[in-house]
Amino acid sequence: MHRRNFLSTSGLSLASLAAGAYAAESADSKKAPRVGLIGTGWYGKADLLRLIQVAPVDVVSLCDVDKQMVAEAADIVSQRQVSKKKPRTYGDYREMLKEKDLDIVLIATPDHWHALPMIEACKAGADIYVQKPIGVDIVEGQSMLAAARKYKRVVQVGTQRRSTPHLAEARDRFINEGKLGKIAFVEIYCYYHMRARENPPDIAPPEHLDYEMWAGPAPKIPFNKLVHPRSWRAFMEYGNGIVGDMCIHMLDMVRWMMDLGWPTTVSSTGGILMDKASRSNITDTQTATFEFPGLNVVWQHRTWGSSPDPKYPWGATFYGDKGTLKVSVNGYDFIPMGQGETVHRDVTMELEQFPEDKTEKDLERHVAPAIRYHMKDLLKAIEMRGKPVADIEQGHISTTACILANLSQQLDRSLKFDPATHQVPGDAEANKLLRRPYRAPWKHPEPDAV
């Protein structure tokens, strides 16, 4: 089956999956998957609670280096899962995985803590849901992919645009049916004012936080209130900036909607051009071009000023010779060239089907359905021992492309990446940057030694 047809079919099957094998199980069934979560902050809870909504899982383990955060999550889970059991809690993911009693492990740590727990979860025999980007450097991603394949694990990456119903509809209705004609240019963008603008003083880490473990293999910068919780993306030490946070969603979405593989060339420019006073060291302005055969996908973010289209502050615009398609997490608009009807669709929220969404703290209600469908897709892949829609290889491609954009900006030149060798041919300086140094005693994973 052609991949595009397969995705269309799998997209349609998402809506009916709730009536499938898992829905018939009781919460106390021996077949209920045993689940653990590493990283119990904002999105860790969002992911886990969506999984609880769509399957009778047994959440048995939670792990976080913040004692208060993991205790709060345990209380919430005990209220939300049908069994009302309170999960065991851990401060070290290695202790949790040592039990080897988990069927599914969710990983929602800061980016610098994705690779090592994911690889250990593979070794422990669990299937995995890991947040995006899959790592902070390219060799991490290569090693994660190698581990998934070596240990035959199903791994879904948290690029849930691939499981967003209205985006699947837009892909099938306008791109796959040729209503846009030939597409030769796609803009992807984010104009949210989301970059931290504070310059807080250094302080001692709170007693309930194991900051040594929190920093782990990454540089341990002086603690301040932006580091934890929630604002860690302000620092390149722990992530890949707005390109690694927001661009990866839109780039991965475009790759999925247009059936694209690896970009041939990546280039990027930008920097801190507006807000030079804040503590954050990520760019406030950046443009990146991802070149595919016959197509350029161009990213732009600004954390200041206005959005060119207030209806689409974060999204993608597909330009074809027969029409234009704008898509976002909130809906889509199709605008044909010449005569023809425009088409508008809003995201369908599921607040009546899942009333707990109405009161859940900090939940992105418009995104909750996509996470649920993404979890259903993972469960179906586990059942069939197949690849989910956001398989680790797809996550690796999208993550690598975004990291290459940051490296291009850093080196001030375009980068051609050879996916067969995982090298930038003829560029020793760039190749040295494909692997970040790890802080002792942590050892960087290698794809041939996982």
Structure letter (DSSP) for residue 202:
P
Q: Token pair 């991949």 is at which residue? A: 3
- Alpha carbon dihedral 165, 170, 173, 177, in 10-degree steps, equals -130
**C-alpha closest to that of 7 among 397, 393, 391:** 391
Using CB atoms within 10 A of its CB, is residue 127 exposed (0-12), middle (13-18) or buried (19+)? Answer: buried
What is residue 22's predicted lDDT score, i.e. its pLDDT? 37
Rounded CA separation 224/204 (Å): 8
3-162+369-391: CATH number? 3.40.50.720
Q: What does the pLDDT look like over 31-43, one tens digit per residue?
A: 899 999 999 999 9
Rounded CA separation 249/318 (Å): 15
Q: Measured between alpha carbons, how far is residue 57 from residues 38, 122, 124 in Å?
A: 16, 19, 18
Q: How many CB atoms lie under 10 A from the CB of residue 48?
A: 29
For 437, phi then psi, to 5°, come to -65, 140
409 near 269, Cβ under 8 Å? yes
186 near 298, Cβ under 8 Å? yes
Q: How many CB atoms lie under 10 A from the CB of residue 403?
A: 26
173 HSE (CA, 13 A, CB side): 19
- All residue ranges of the chain with pLDDT < 50 are 1-29
**For the stretch 359-387, what's the b/e string if a residue is b when 16 or more beta carbons lie within 10 angstroms of its beta carbon?**
ebeebeebbbbbbbbbbbbbbbbbeeeeb
* Chain mean pLDDT for the chain: 94
Rounded CA separation 312/328 (Å): 7
**C-alpha closest to that of 288 among 212, 182, 400:** 400
Tokens coding 402: 């975004």
Rounded CA separation 159/181 (Å): 27
Q: Measured between alpha carbons, how far is residue 153 from residues 128, 145, 146, 346, 448 in Å?
A: 7, 10, 10, 35, 17
Q: Token pair 């604002």 is at which residue? A: 231
Rounded CA separation 103/19 (Å): 21
Using CB atoms within 10 A of its CB, is residue 234 exposed (0-12), middle (13-18) or buried (19+)? Answer: buried
For 301, phi then psi, to 5°, come to -130, 145
* % helix, strand, coil for the chain, step of 5: 35, 20, 45
